[in-house]
Amino acid sequence: MRRFAPLLVDALLVIVFCAIGRRSHDEAVLAGLLKTVWPFGIGLLLGWAVAYVLARDSRFDATSLWPSGLVIWVCTLVGGMALRAVSGQGVAVSFVIVAACVLALFLLGWRAAISALR
């Protein structure tokens, strides 16, 4: 279970990001949460897969800020936006900027805190 804890933290933070977004736009949070979460969830899983493959020659550390955290963040953001675009959901420039900042804070922030504590 400890091995999957970082993935669970990331997944929870992506869900929180989507719930905050829905709430800030006065949309039904629970009723439409899955519609908002799935693109970023798939992007997150893609990011984890890419980070794992890139660490093939070394030991994969999902809690490291570099390269794992950065790869996971970029894939979550880019993958999520691409899937939103192809599924007809909004990808306004302002949303991309806000999503990039909040996802960076969430997905990189806890990793930076762990790095500082080490």
Q: What is the pLDDT along the chain (118 residues), one digit of tens a residue?
A: 677 899 999 999 999 999 998 888 766 667 788 999 999 999 999 999 999 999 887 788 999 999 999 999 999 999 999 999 999 998 999 999 999 999 999 999 999 999 999 8
What percent of the chain shows pLDDT beyond 70? 95
Enter the pTM of the model: 0.92
Match 């950065």 to its residue by tokens. 70
Rama region for 58: left / alpha / beta (φ>0; ψ in -120 to 50; rest): beta
Mean model confidence pLDDT for the chain: 92
Give yes or no for a contact between 14 and 48, defined as CB atoms under 8 angstroms apart: no
Pull the structure tokens for residue 85: 């675009």
